[in-house]
Every structure is written in C-alpha cells, then in structure tokens.
Chain A
Amino acid sequence: AQSVAQPEDQVNVAEGNPLTVKCTYSVSGNPYLFWYVQYPNRGLQFLLKYITGDNLVKGSYGFEAEFNKSQTSFHLKKPSALVSDSALYFCAVRDYRDSSYKLIFGSGTRLLVRP
C-alpha cells in the first residue's frame, strides 16, 4: 500500500529564513504526490502536486517542493518564511485500491514562524 511519512511534528523557523517541511513516500509505481495547508479552523487547501516532469514543483504562496526519487522524498520548501505561513502542513500520496483512487495523508507537520 502507498504511504507517506512526515517525520517532524513541528518545525520552528524565524521569519525571513528558509523553511523545509519533510515528507518521504513509499509507493509501487510512479508516485502522485501532494502538499496541503490547513489554517486554524479551516479546511485543507491545495498547495502543489507532482505527477511527472520537472523535479522542482512550484505552488501557491511562494512554496515549492523537490521530488527526489532516489531518496523517496518530496520536501516542501520556501526561500523566505512569513509569520502568516504558520499552519499545519500535510503531505499526501495517491493510492489505487478496490478500483478507486484516493489520497493517503501523512500525520501533518505544524510550522511555526516566529517574528
């Protein structure tokens, strides 16, 4: 079965510094990978996805993610963090079972950007 792991419960970074939120995956076949963000008391919002092509994927709000096949990783990055980036971030992978596609989510990483 497909799975993703987010090894850090929380990431702390100072405003203006680069940030990385880690995600590793385990799939059979080619991975379809996603990042979502959740602000307090809100639903999840799409940030970016990787299906094929360029290993560096650019998404919303200045975020990007680097797909690394040899390390089975899909880390989320931003060159300069903002306090408003503080939120809960989820990595997800597409899973195919029982003739249906669905997303399998990681446990989430809380990002705290301090002023």
Chain B
Amino acid sequence: NAGVTQTPKFQVLKTGQSMTLQCAQDMNHNSMYWYRQDPGMGLRLIYYSASEGTTDKGEVPNGYNVSRLNKREFSLRLESAAPSQTSVYFCASSGPGQGFGNYGYTFGSGTRLTVV
C-alpha cells in the first residue's frame, strides 16, 4: 500500500529549464493537491484537482501548470524555472466526504527542487 508517490525526490535545475513533477496515489481518492513548503511560510497551495478532469488555481499558481492525467495521477510542470521556485514540493490526496476521510490529507514524501 504505497499511498502517495512522488518523483523525483531531488532535482537541480538551471534557470529557464523546464521539468515535470510526478505524483500518483493508489487510494482511489478523488481530490489531489500540490503544495510548496518554504521556511517560515508553512505550506502554500499551488494547484488542486477536486476530481478527475478538473483543476483549479490555489494561492501561488504563477509559474506552474498542472495536469490531472487520470484519477491516480496529478503532475506539476515548471515551464521556465526561476530561483524563486526553489522549494520543497508536496503532493497530497484526500479521501471521500467533506471531512477528508479518516486522515485529512495523505502526503507524498516530497521533491526538493533547487533552481540555480
């Protein structure tokens, strides 16, 4: 039972390069989310997908795009990376109902991205 799987775990990019962060969940959850974590700022929502086929902007969407490929997979793309996007990125999914199931979110282990 893997839960939420994120790849890669670490990545170094040069300014202007592009990349896609992958996320997959095996819990049959409808909703999936991408957050970034920065020191002193907690987790900030980038994009989310309430259900398969829908995506919406969160608090800090600029510079990112997302794709909900199917119910299991939700990817985050940086088209032209900037040093301000250096951060730790977390994918999460949530279970059924308004109470988010038993555990709220289930998180992946994160991707540590450095843009130089």
Which positions in A face B, CB cutoff 8 Å? 6, 9, 32, 34, 36, 41-46, 49, 51, 90, 92, 94, 98-108
Contact = CB atoms under 8 A, between A and B. Distances in A.
Contacts of A46: 103-106
Interface of B: 4, 31, 33, 35, 40-45, 48, 50, 56, 58, 90, 92, 94, 98-100, 103-110
Given A46-B105, A106-B42, 15 more contacts: A32-B100, A36-B104, A41-B109, A43-B4, A43-B90, A43-B110, A45-B107, A46-B103, A90-B42, A94-B99, A100-B31, A100-B50, A102-B31, A103-B100, A103-B104
A46 B104 CA distance: 7
B40 A107 contact: yes
Contact of B98 (A6, A9, A101): A101
The interface centre, meaning the residue of A45, A49, A103 with most chain B CB atoms within 10 A of its CB, is: A103
Is the contact region of chain B dominated by helix, strand, or loop, or is it mixed? strand
Nearest to A42: B109
The interface centre, meaning the residue of A34, A43, A94 with most chain B CB atoms within 10 A of its CB, is: A43
Contact of B90 (A44, A99, A107, A108): A44
B48 A102 contact: yes
Contacts of B92: 44
